Structure 1
Amino acid sequence: MSILRSNPSARDAKSYLASFGARPRPVPVPLHSSPPVFTDHQGIRDAQPAVEEPKPSPIVTSILDPVQHRTALVKIQGPFTDRQLDSIARGMVYLQKLGLVSVIVVEQDQVPRGEEGEREVISEETMRVVEALEKQGARTRPVLGAVVRLGPFPGQDSATDHLHATIPEAHAFPSDLAPIRFALRAGEIPVLSPLALDSFCRSTRVDANDVIAALARGMVEAAELERNQNLAETITRPEVDVDLTPMRLMIINREGGVPSYARYGLPHLLVNLDLEYKHIHDTFEESWKATHPTALQNLELAHTCLSYILPPSSSAIMVNHRAPSSLIGNLITNKPAVSSSLPHALLQGNRSLTPNTPTLLRRGLSVEVIRDCAKIDKVKMTRLLEQSFGRVLDSDAFYTRLEENLDFVIILGDYAAGAIVTRETSGSDPSTPIVYLDKFAVLPSHQGDGTVDFLWVALHDETYGLGLPFSSNVNGGKEGRGEGKDLVWRSRSNNPVNKWYFERSSGHVRMGDWVLFWCDAEKRLKTEEGRRASAGLSYVEEWEHGRLARWTDIVPKVPSSWKK
């Protein structure tokens, strides 16, 4: 049911199968090139005919063939009751069936570091997690000794300083990970206590976040080493092949995700760490330190791992112990439980958005707002538009028009995605241009990884969301200062993306082969609501009279950007 509720699209399913789908087995080399020869009791040698092995059907093979296993680093941040641990363990076991094997580090928040008897309590908590997993049918391997070493990785200081990432107080070399590697190869879930070896080879308790960050780096390096060495074991025994590179960082706790000022304390849905990390710190309210005491430390862990350790395709998720099934949906779709680019009014009234909604975190992409057409890299922009739309751009005409009409361009990363907004006018009223979304493009390689939501949120903050506190993101643009403007755009009536547009627009009207969409300026709506108080908005406000007729006059006249 958790898989069905995740409602994956065709692209989501393709992405999942690309990561976890069964790979073809290597063809075994026969030990004998001819059938065996037997001697009967009379000494006559007869060659026995070869017995043909039965060939299973492709369907049976696909069911019996194992999935490609990937790894996740999981922090189980207790204390939890037995019932809560059972729920968490059930989620971990289902993830393993789907191909994601957990490497678990257990933390106990109620036992301060340095307290007498802490080692015994931590060991007991680790064994409780082991028992909960085995109760659900999993095979486990408790690792009660230290795997990582105390202190930063040698030479790490200078390498991470420019990324503003916190340097872990522990490290691990690939050779230290033998217990974890052997457990994974044996189909077991390793469960570790948060311990590290000091310089005198003494085992001491450390912060679980340091252990996880050390494991992340060590596992990435070990996976790369194995790929380079092309180990014979992974070729001859694909059923135990496990990619040690962590695909997910999962933080399961009692707090849930990181609270958001834009959602009045409900969790952030999708975080672009490259852009939002400092902003989340700056907007974290004092009262949340009581309800979410470890939220910022866990945010810091995700930032450290995703910024400079794990590959760009990896992500982190912070989830309440009450919602472990959401991890399954996230694994299938690689998306947040609720899209962060939906209108704020819709999000606030969405029953799916609760204190238990997970926060999905990605390394993300930088955001740049360009207001001068001369500063656009036309080669990269053309490549982005043509790959995104699958058509040939009429470059000369397109950029000539932008030089006259450009309002601004939003660029994500190195032209991984972009939104082009223009000012369009009519001959009857040239003094009042409309704000028109001319192009909204994402490279195919970034479709389905959250980039589209990052781009739409930035577009919202620069157009119809201007003037509101939750539009003050630091993105190189106006940072929330100014008056919001209605945003208008058009889309072919048969465009499969229209469902996504319907959910994010304030309204739409059909114009033959086109659909015209718009988003109302949110500050104006808020102001009108406040003025009318309990009376509410009327069906058509005074400022709305005539605007639809004006839009339907201007928008169809915007010339095509493509070659015939």
Structure 2
Amino acid sequence: MLSYTARHVPCAVKSNLNSRSAQTFKAFYATIRSLRQNNSNATPEVEDIDPADNDFIMSLLRTYPSQRDTRSYFASFGPQPVAVPKIPKSSTVESTPEQIAPLTETRPPDITTQTRSPVISSILNPIYRRTALVKVQGPFTDRQLESIARGMVYLEKLGLLSVIIVENEDFKDREGQRSAIVEETMRFVTALEKGGAKARPILGAVVRLGPKPGDEEAPEPQDYTVPEAHTFPSDLVHIRSALRAGEIPVLPPFALDSFCRSVRVDSNDVIAALARGMTEAAELDKQARQEQQDRKEGHEDDPVAEVDLTPLRLMIINKEGGVPSYARYGMPHLLVNLTSEFSYIKNTFDQKWRTSHPTALSNLSLARTCLAYMPPTSSAVMVSHRSPSDLIGNLITNKPAVSSSLPHALLQGNRKLTPHTPTLLRRGLPIQVIRNTNDLDKVKLKYLLEQSFRRTLDEEPFWERLNESLDFVIVAGDYAGAAIVTREACSPSTSPNISPITYLDKFAVLPSHQGDGTVDFLWVALHDETYGLGLPFSANPNGGKEGKGEGRDLVWRSRANNPVNKWYFERSTGHLRMGDWVLFWCDAEVRLKIEEGRKGSIGLSYLEEWEHGRLSTWADVVFKIPSSWGN
């Protein structure tokens, strides 16, 4: 069996690389900070950076964003496309000398009184500010609050303004809780100000108790909990004012009751109401701007002061950390597909976790409700107060701190998984397993394959081969992604005792869903149906065998120049380069555990006896499979 090995870099080279990386990111931060300042002519030197910002720079370094992550970040926070007004054609009548003012009378325009064009505004202020809803769930000490506040300051530097709701579990159901939670709110405002941010306490209620008018007329019951509070666009005036001024609004969990009294409520009700209300208000803002732009025939006001109210992230910061996972022996879930996993997580929640993680399930429900109103690209993260820097990684990459599709042994061996590893939650997609070609939507599957591979499918032979050898197809959502697995028979003459090969024929995700978690959701389901089958953590409700059965080796091939191979290397047990191709495989994990148990402290060798000859058999079968493409 091939094992994972670390790559070593000579010390001298490593020192040089570290030095260059530090200088590069110092220069990067100097540029970003200059863009955030009002005086665009003042560009700080690298030496002018406050040493306190080193933690911010290191937090950026630790995110390791890919090119896709970087493009996604700048799509949300970079300069937004603006409509350039058409310049009317000048008159063909020539001006007489009397109509031209003398040169000495020409004065430079007063830039303080002139309206800037949208193009100039986008250049002078390239950070497009977005919003996040943040639940700070105490109790926290002053030092812990300062650490959390530092994370909020980092996010503000990157363009994300937080709307913070302060909660303290110790203050619930006791006398004087209202004044106590106000004091807690002011403590966090002070921590933000000490960290260098501008904060504004909003102590009045901005949400109203009870369902929103019209909710009772909803035609169908929703698959999420409808908030028990609501808000109107006019109620958000204080939050909007703070955000426009570049201030972080900090709110206690208050709401107006039917008698217009401000009362203490559960913070989850306030956050869910804000998620819905801010999203609806942002949509109304968008419509109003479009109507205004249409009336002015291409001219628009200066967009610098505008902040998109649509929450881009939901962040829950507490002492518990993420949601404990039945699959990881109480360690946190890495990535949760709320659409397909919510009920199963609740049903498998261990009784002892109700003591160690008393609010995990209520926060899980809060995430599902908020993400139902937020855009599909939004995500929620549950993170311990010990990991504020993880918020930067979540903002830039919108991915879990550690990929959920990585092998469990790799996570445990590298000690990357800790009780404080955050849980990322996405609205997600339903997962289903289809075992008959007649149940496939061939039109949608064809579209998915051609869009993902950017090639034309040779339909007739492809469907004929699936009719003969299909094992199953895992489909994510409405064919947003699919994994096609076939059973490839070995030649009886050369391999009489070898079972049919479980072959990953196609693994495809629509370009529009790449980077939103669909890839990981799909691979986890593939793991559970093949090489992970038989293990407790393969019992996910994905419509398949739900962990019951015997694991099978999974084999697939990929062209040597395929950029996805790096991703495959991390998830496969081993690989073999064969000319223009790479053969990958994942060993059945149950069998590996049995073999490791037999070896005891000796451990598995590089190549076990039962592995001899199988690679040549796999290669002989796999590389005879015809291409599915017409060109």
Q: 1:10 pairs with 60, 67, 74, which one?
A: 67
Cross-structure match for 2:331:
266
Whether 2:310 is the aligned partner of 1:245: answer yes
Counterpart residue number, 1:329: 393
Cα distance in 2 between the residues matched to 1:226 and 1:474: 40
1:372 aligns with 2:442: no
Q: How much does 1:204 deviate?
A: 0.6
Deviation at 1:61, TM superposition (A): 8.9
Which segment drifts farther, 543-552 or 403-412?
543-552
Give the letter for the 2:78 counterpart: G
Alignment of 1:37-116 (within 5 A): 48-51=105-108, 64-113=124-173, 115-116=174-175
How far off is 1:354 after superposition? 1.0
1:318 aligns with 2:382: yes
Question: Structure 1 counterpart of 2:591, which letter?
Answer: R
Please state if 1:128 is matched with 2:187.
Answer: yes
Paired residues of 1:26 and 1:236 also in contact (CA < 8 A): no
Deviation at 1:187, TM superposition (A): 1.2
Q: Contact between 2:79 and 2:123, CA under 8 Å: does it hold in 1?
A: no
Q: Cα–Cα, structure 1 residues 18 and 411, in superposed 2: closer, same or farther, change >3 Å?
A: same
Query: What SS does structure 2 have at the residue aligned with 1:124?
Result: helix
Cα deviation digits, residues 463-486 of structure 1 (max 9, x gap): 000011100000110001000000
1:244 aligns to what SS in structure 2? coil
Alpha carbon RMSD of aligned pairs, Å?
A: 2.5
**1:160, 1:167 within 8 Å by CA — same for their partners in 2?**
no
Instruction: List aligned pairs for 1:404-423, cutoff 5 A.
Output: 404-423=468-487
Give the superposition deviation at 1:535: 4.0
2:287 corresponds to: 228
Aligned residue identity for 1:289: R
Asked if structure 2 preserves the Cα contact closer than 8 Å seen for 1:25 and 1:238, the reply is no
* CA drift at 1:29: 12
Cα 1:299–1:559 shift into 2, 3 Å: same
1-structure distance, mates of 2:106, 2:616:
85
**Does the aligned pair in 2 maintain the 1:222–1:244 contact within 8 Å?**
yes
1:171 is displaced (CA, Å) by 1.0
Give 5+ residue unaligned stretches, structure 1. 34-43, 55-59
CA shift at 1:64, angstroms?
Answer: 4.1
Conserved? CA contact 1:126–1:193, under 8 Å? yes
2:566 is aligned with 1:522? no
Q: Does the C-alpha gap of structure 1 residues 160 and 474 become closer, same or farther in structure 2, counting only changes over 3 Å? A: farther
> 1:137 and 2:137 equivalent?
no
- What corresponds to 1:291 in structure 2? 356
For 1:556, the equivalent position in structure 2 comes to 623
Deviations 1:314-360 (A, max 9, x none): 11000111111111111111111100000011112232211111100
Structure 2 unaligned blocks of 5 or more: 1-57, 91-100, 112-119, 294-298
3-state DSSP of counterpart to 2:590: helix
Is residue 2:251 matched to residue 1:192? yes
SS at structure 2 position matched to 1:243? coil
| Corresponding position of 1:36 | none
Decide whether aligned partners of structure 1 residues 218 and 471 sit closer, same or farther in structure 2, where only a CA change above 3 A counts.
Answer: same
**1:263/1:348 contact within 8 Å kept:** no
Name the SS for the 2:140 alignment partner. coil
Query: How many equivalent residue pairs?
Result: 547
| Offset at residue 52 of structure 1 (A) | 8.1
Deviations, residues 377-402 of structure 1 (Å, cap 9, x unaligned): 11111110011011111011111111
Q: 1:364, 1:451 within 8 Å by CA — same for their partners in 2?
A: yes
Structure-2 residue corresponding to 1:402: 466
Q: Which residue of 2 aligns with 1:41?
A: none
* 2:497 corresponds to 1:445: no
C-alpha distance 536-197 of structure 1, shift in aligned 2 (>3 A): same
Partner of 1:40: none
More strand as a share of residues: 1
Alignment of 1:380-399 (within 5 A): 380-399=444-463
**Letter matched to residue 557 of structure 2:** R
Aligned to 1:459: 526
Q: Give the letter aligned to residue 236 of structure 1.
A: D
- CA separation of 1:359/1:161 partners in 2, compared to 1, >3 Å: closer, same or farther? farther
Contact 2:209-2:258 within 8 A present in 1 as well: yes
- Which amino acid in 1 is paired with 2:334? L
Given candidates 408, 419, 422, the residue that maps to 1:358 is 422
User: 1:161–1:206: structure 2 CA closer, same or farther, 3 Å change rule?
Assistant: farther
Query: How big is the shift at 1:75?
Result: 0.3
Of residues 493, 500, 511, the one that matches 2:560 is 493
1:536 aligns to 2:596 (yes or no): no
Aligned residue for 2:584, secondary structure, equals strand
Q: Deviations over 1:438-474 (max 9, x none)?
A: 0000100011111100000000000000011100000
Give me the whole-angstrom Cα distance separating, in 1, the residues matched to 2:184 and 2:427.
32
Q: CA deviation at 1:163?
A: 3.3
- Structure 1 residue 282: Cα displacement: 1.3
Q: Does 1:168 align with 2:219?
A: no
* Deviation by residue 1:404-448 (Cα, 9 ceiling, x = unmatched): 010000000000000000111233347721000000001000111
How far apart, in 2, do the equivalents of 1:549 and 1:138 lie? 62
SS in 1 for 2:152: helix
How far apart in 2 are the matches of 1:444 and 1:120?
51
Partner of 1:304: 369
Letter in 1 for 2:59: S
Pick one of 182, 200, 205 that aligns with 2:264. Answer: 205
**Is the CA contact (8 Å cut-off) linking 2:80 and 2:122 kept in structure 1?**
no
Deviations 1:357-382 (A, max 9, x none): 11000000011101001111111111
Q: List per-residue Cα deviations over 1:134-184 (Å, max 9, x = no partner).
A: 111211111111110011223435649643312322111111111111111
Is the 8 Å Cα contact of residues 66 and 239 (structure 1) preserved in structure 2? Answer: no
Q: Name 2:535's counterpart in structure 1.
A: 468
Deviates more, 1:248-257 or 1:546-555: 546-555
Give the counterpart letter for 2:289 in structure 1. Answer: N
How high is the TM-score relative to the length of structure 1? 0.92
Change (3 A) 1:538 1:137: closer
Q: What is the letter of the counterpart of residue 400 of structure 1? A: E
2:613 corresponds to which of 533, 542, 546: 546
| Contact preservation (8 Å) 2:63, 2:397 | yes
